[in-house]
């Protein structure tokens, strides 16, 4: 069984010094995997370990790929399944011509019904997308995001010197914005918690949020992000409006997986992932968040216990090894249906 995983990464990742001078394709694949950006090579490694012929394609790697090169490669080396993390990288016509099953994964802004219909099967961590897939005549399956447990061996344990941190994108997009509410939340934390700092990027005018501008420390992706999480006591998380009130994003599992205390919105499915106030902290209002941030910061034993239990829960239930083993029968069945 042959499966190829197609993804695209932030352009800044390709400027990482670990890639300098790496021009051999296989060596570059290993170097890219060592960056642990996004899902890294967690999917291909898991499926290889389950007996599949699995390969990653980082489609926007400027050294080797672009959409046309990826398309020609897939036409010449067709897998049984093409698993796309970026639903729009290949054109509709290219997708139509590929002689394989097309599987996608989406937990971001809806790309349009026409894009959804290019796929035989779609996975999502958004429960509210499953009905929308059905309305497009496409099979959908729930697949929560998870933690790359291999990263623990790549990060050197250090003392937790950052009291409260945030890593991710922020911005004020106006009505119907992507992170509008979350940006207001993080600005309040920056204003009220002295030991706060954040990494990531801002879209829009950051000067509208003076405390965010003051506490910004720069961008951090992949392994650099994990090294910061390893030295952070409490990690604040926020979901974009697109999540429609569901807990789902990567930071929930990255933070807990690295042993930090997770503070995220107390949502309608929070308890599916973590025990509230025992494995992670769910907040409602900004005042609620600020109150419990101070409480946990000032109670070392509680904070350490939250970090330990949150990490144990993630390593037990929320790793890609576990998640992907659960969907393997579905993908096998998809191939059998075509034979």
Lowest mean pLDDT among 58-67, 127-136, 170-179, 214-223: 170-179
pLDDT at 179 over 90: no
pLDDT at 172: 72
Residue 214: pLDDT band by 50, 70, 90 thresholds?
very high
pLDDT tens, 145-162?
999 999 999 998 899 999
pLDDT at 297: 96
pLDDT at 339: 55
Report the distance separating Cα 44 and Cα 39, nearest Å.
10
pLDDT at 176 over 50: no
Pull the structure tokens for residue 128.
């509210």
Report the distance separating Cα 314 and Cα 309, nearest Å.
9
Radius of gyration of the chain (CA): 20
**328: three-class secondary structure by DSSP:** helix
**200: three-class secondary structure by DSSP:** strand
- 21: which residues sit within 8 A by CB, 6+ positions away? none
Q: What is the mean pLDDT of residues 17-27?
A: 95
DSSP summary character for residue 147: B
pLDDT at 240: 87
pLDDT at 336: 79
**Residue matched to tokens 């971001």:** 108
**Which residues, listed in sequence order, are joined to residue 105 by a DSSP beta bridge?**
123
pTM: 0.95
Domains and CATH numbers, the chain: 2-146+320-337 (3.40.50.2000), 150-317 (3.40.50.2000)
């Amino acid at each position: 069984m042959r499966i190829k995983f197609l993804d695209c990464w932030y352009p800044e990742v390709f400027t990482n010094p670990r890639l300098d001078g790496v021009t051999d394709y296989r060596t570059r694949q290993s170097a890219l995997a060592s960056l642990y950006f996004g899902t890294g090579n967690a999917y291909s490694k898991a499926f290889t370990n389950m007996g599949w012929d699995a390969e990653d394609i980082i489609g926007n790697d400027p050294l080797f790929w672009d959409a046309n090169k990826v398309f020609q490669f897939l036409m010449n080396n067709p897998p049984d399944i093409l698993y796309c993390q970026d639903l729009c990288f290949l054109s509709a016509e290219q997708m139509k011509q590929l002689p394989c099953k097309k599987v996608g994964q989406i937990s971001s802004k809806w790309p349009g019904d026409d894009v959804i219909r290019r796929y035989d099967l779609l996975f999502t961590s958004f429960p509210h997308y499953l009905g929308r897939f059905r309305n497009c005549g496409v099979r959908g399956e729930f697949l929560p995001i998870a933690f790359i447990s291999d990263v623990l061996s790549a990060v050197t344990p250090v003392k937790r010197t950052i009291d409260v941190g945030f890593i991710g994108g922020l911005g004020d997009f106006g009505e119907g914005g992507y992170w509008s509410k979350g940006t207001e939340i993080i600005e309040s934390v920056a204003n009220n918690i002295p030991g706060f700092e954040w990494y990531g990027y801002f879209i829009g005018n950051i000067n509208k949020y003076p405390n965010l501008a003051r506490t910004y420390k720069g961008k951090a992706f992949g392994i650099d992000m994990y090294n910061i999480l390893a030295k952070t006591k409490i990690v604040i998380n926020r979901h974009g409006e697109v999540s429609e009130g569901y807990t789902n994003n990567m930071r929930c599992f990255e933070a807990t997986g690295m042993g930090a205390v997770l503070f995220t919105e107390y949502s309608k499915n929070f308890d599916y992932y973590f025990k509230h106030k025992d494995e992670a902290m769910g907040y409602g209002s900004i005042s609620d968040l600020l109150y419990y941030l101070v409480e946990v910061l000032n109670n070392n034993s509680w904070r350490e216990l939250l970090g330990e239990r949150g990490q144990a829960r993630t390593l037990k239930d929320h790793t890609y090894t576990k998640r992907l083993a659960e969907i393997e029968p579905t993908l096998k069945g998809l191939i059998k249906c075509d034979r």
